[in-house]
Amino acid sequence: MLSCDQSGQKHMAFVADISSSENVEKLMSQIQSCFSRPPCISVNSAGITRDEFLLRLTEEAFDTVLKVNLKGTFLITQAVARALVASGTSQGSIINLGSIVGKVGNLGQINYAASKAGVEALTKTAAKELARYGIRCNSVLPGFINTPMTQKVPQKVLDKVAGMIPLGRLGDPSDVADVCAFLASDDSSYITGASIEVTGGLYL
């Protein structure tokens, strides 16, 4: 996790296993100790895959993906929200990375799809609960983005997918980052509970 102060001048990187509540509590303590305040912006982007077709998927692979993608998002969201409420801060923005796969499914990704569908539902519910404290919660649903995760996909499959995208290309990480920056800013102060697709128009 990367944290910075309000001026953006001071940055610190922290390593943590976000699937462990003990580690998340330790992480929050480190951040508050370093910056003397809780984080008012949280972008939960940790995610893993263990792809396999349903008939061959192991229970361990299913649990591992949900533990990081869904439970980890829950623990960070809860920890940040608790810290903000306890501090009396009247505003905050929590941005959780889901996936378009959580809406439409994808072959060989039943665990990943389930985890990302859960992230979207978790975010909408958190938005309803936390609005009274001035904390906004939104999710970003990337499509096929040029990352190490998609580099594992055969090129012929990626070419076929690109042909299905109205904008004609896979996304870049900056496409997702720009949406997250918008949701973190005051320009989105009246947006909460939203799920913003960053897919180039795929699945319209």
The counts of H helices and E strands in the chain are 7, 6
How crowded is residue 56: how many other Cβ atoms within 10 Å of its Cβ?
8
Determine the pLDDT at residue 78: 98
Per-domain residue ranges of the chain? 40-198
Check if 203 is active-site.
no
Indicate which residue of 112, 133, 190, 203 is catalytic.
112
Determine the pLDDT at residue 4: 55
Alpha carbon distance 49, 10 (integer Å): 32
Alpha carbon distance 73, 202 (integer Å): 25
pLDDT, one tens digit for every residue, the chain (204 residues): 555 555 556 778 888 999 999 999 999 999 998 888 889 999 999 999 999 999 999 999 999 999 999 999 999 999 999 999 999 988 999 999 999 999 999 999 999 999 999 999 999 999 999 999 999 999 999 999 999 888 888 888 889 989 999 999 999 999 999 999 999 999 999 999 999 999 999 998
Determine the pLDDT at residue 13: 86
Determine the pLDDT at residue 201: 97
DSSP string of 144-197?
SBSSTTGGGS-HHHHHHHHHHSTTSS-B-HHHHHHHHHHHHSGGGTT--S-EEE
Alpha carbon distance 167, 183 (integer Å): 23
Determine the pLDDT at residue 12: 82
Q: CB-hemisphere CA count at 13 Å for 39?
A: 25
How crowded is residue 18: how many other Cβ atoms within 10 Å of its Cβ?
21
Q: Across the chain, where does the E strand assignment appear?
A: 2-4, 11-13, 41-44, 92-97, 135-142, 195-198
C-alpha distance across the termini of the chain, in Å: 33
Please list the residues that pair with 42 across neighbouring strands. Answer: 94
Determine the pLDDT at residue 36: 87
CATH 3.30.565.10 assigned to domain 40-198? The reply is no
